[in-house]
Chain A
Amino acid sequence: MFFHIVLERNMQLHPRFFGRNLRENLVSKLMKDVEGTCSGRHGFVVAITGIESVGKGLIRDGTAFVTFPVKYQCVVFRPFKGEILEAVVTLVNKMGFFAEAGPVQIFVSKHLIPDDMEFQAGDMPNYTTSDGSVKIQKECEVRLKIIGTRVDATEIFCVGTIKDDFLGVINDPAAAA
């Protein structure tokens, strides 16, 4: 799920960035530092949308660095248990398949793929129903349900299932082509 929230961060800035462009420097450093990172509480920071306030700088003793408390608005993405997500399949093997929804990596094990879908090995491994009407392979888009999440410093891991109604392949670019 996406959220638009306000977060705060203490930014340390080297004196060479002081001057007229101090604010711009601060913002560009903030973007570099924050965008694409994860926190267990908020999930993945997708993009900074605005700066709420920049507090008073504090010179750190012993170094010339200055610390600014910055409040910023950002879009975060955090998957939840029970959430339905759409994801792109990245790897299919006999254990199940891996899919990605943006930065989130989701594993759907063989146990949670409908029983009528069988693994087919080959240079394009896939799971296919016995009548061949549904096929899960690399690059496919699937709708799945999250059954467990774990958020690390840099990554979000999820375990998902497609063994439920209205879940499974929603689009297969390979088949359409």
Chain B
Amino acid sequence: MSVASDSPVHSSSSDDLAAFLETELDSDSDSSSESFPIEEEPEDDAEVSNHRLKRRKLDHLETVDEDEIEEVASVKFSQEISEASSSKLPCQHPGTFGNMCIVCGQRVEEEETGISFTYIHKGIKFHEDEVTRMRDIDMKMLQSQRKLCLVLDLDHTLLNSTVLRDLRPEEEYLKSLTHSLQDVSGGDLFMLEFMHMMTKLRPFVHSFLKEASKMFVLYIYTMGDRPYARQMAKLLDPKGEYFGERIISRDDGTVRHQKSLDVVLGQEKAVLILDDTENAWPSHKDNLIVIERYHFFASSCKQFDHIFQSLSQLKSDESEPDGALATVLKVLKQTHSLFFEDGGEDLSGRDVRSLLKQVRKDILKGCKVVFSRVFPTKSQAEDHPLWRVAKGLGATCATEVDESVTHVVAMDVGTEKVRWAIREKKFVVHRGWIDAANYLWKKQPEENFGLEQLKKQGAEEKSDDVPLEK
């Protein structure tokens, strides 16, 4: 060990030179490394002896005399000692696997172990600092690949499932249309008899995932249980190229009945969420893109108290090129390109949350909206959800009419404001116009949302915008 203290070998800077020497020598000729005259080298040359050490590790064929081995071994030993002494600081226990620290192997008490990543492995937990560190490293890596994170919900977002028992008689025809489970690629309707379920993928989902995976690291986050989540992932991603192990189910969440980004390994400012249920994400509303619910099966409509017929009963489906997923994909593309716009090196100031707001603000830009008999008179108009939605979409909201107003949102023809609007040739629309713009990320043609349409529809008549109303 006394050799160790005065030996200059264990400085890491010499490694580079040794590596350089090695490549130089190897490139010289193949045989030269074998016949390299070791004995003739000056013994005190630290670089060369280190080089020899490295070569020994790689090449056991080399023959060196006994003293040489002795020296090499002692140097190596001293390196180990110095490494050990430098890491004498108490281990921070950045994470645990089965309650053992992943760095030092010690048992760690249950309480101080941090966030569980059960979707990766049931025994693994990481300390919050470590998670933050991983997110930071990840962020750099993702930025170099020009990627962000996207968390996807399953039910009513990417697909719709029903229990076979709930299948209506008029839906029985679907059973003959199901796709084989042996080769799921290309199919969109599946019967999972072992789970007693039938699943319909949303139109456009395959293209959506393909396109989105180029811009985002994809996660699944569902309120279903783990076997269900895994099975659905198999249907969506048979080759496992999109999601990998990033499939988070109800069993993996940290808070019951809620979804949270704390188990997602992406910085919050680089994560977008696509879900049909806003309430599931109480603390990440700004990252969330709410998508119109996909109801293919009748049981699914019933679950949400919708009175209209399901797509399966109507024997129709969402349109591929103009469906909800296609719309969302456009929003994703827009947000992604804003994030990486002017492709500089420093993207640390960028935040998807503000960019998403920015994208939203363009939708109803330039519109000035007045509400008439939409809100109860008692309450503050500014607090009404519809008011906030309209503001979020970039519209200016007002309580009184004036020249600059462009749209009057009303539920009844007879109000004073509506009469004013008709006189002044302004648009009169019902609230569905705002809801539709909110879900479809696009200003809708006003003539489809006139008050006459609302009346005509009556109670039971179904039209495109009815499902948009909650």
Contact = CB atoms under 8 A, between A and B. Distances in A.
B138 A94 contact: yes
A91 interface: yes
A109 B265 contact: no
Interface string A151-177: 010000101000001100000000000
B100 A96 contact: no
**Binding site secondary structure of chain A:** strand
A111 B103 contact: yes
A107 interface: yes
**Binding site secondary structure of chain B:** loop
Interface stretch (B43-51, B238-246, B254-262, B356-364): B238-246
Given A94-B138, A148-B101, A159-B105, A109 B95 contact: yes
Interface string B107-136: 100000000010011011010000000100
A81 B105 CA distance: 9
B98 interface: yes
A159 B124 contact: no
Given A121-B141, A125-B244, A148-B105, A95 B124 contact: yes
B103 A150 contact: no
Interface string A59-87: 00000000000000000000001000000
Given A112-B103, A123-B241, A147-B104, A95 B95 contact: yes
Contact of A95 (B106, B120, B123, B141): B120
B121 A98 contact: yes
Contacts of A37: none
Contacts of A147: 104-105
Interface string A35-71: 0000000000000000000000000000000000000
A157 B100 contact: yes
Interface string B161-189: 00000000000000000000000000000
A109 B103 contact: yes
Contacts of A128: none
B241 A107 contact: no
A119 B76 CA distance: 27
A96 B95 CA distance: 11
Given A91-B120, A94-B134, A152-B98, 5 more contacts: A94-B137, A111-B94, A111-B102, A157-B97, A159-B97
24 contacts: A81-B105, A93-B244, A94-B134, A94-B265, A95-B117, A95-B120, A95-B134, A96-B102, A98-B121, A111-B102, A119-B141, A121-B141, A121-B145, A121-B217, A123-B239, A148-B100, A149-B100, A150-B99, A152-B98, A157-B98, A157-B100, A159-B97, A159-B100, A159-B101
Interface of B: 57, 76, 94-95, 97-107, 117, 120-121, 123-124, 126, 134, 137-138, 141, 145, 217, 239-241, 244-245, 265
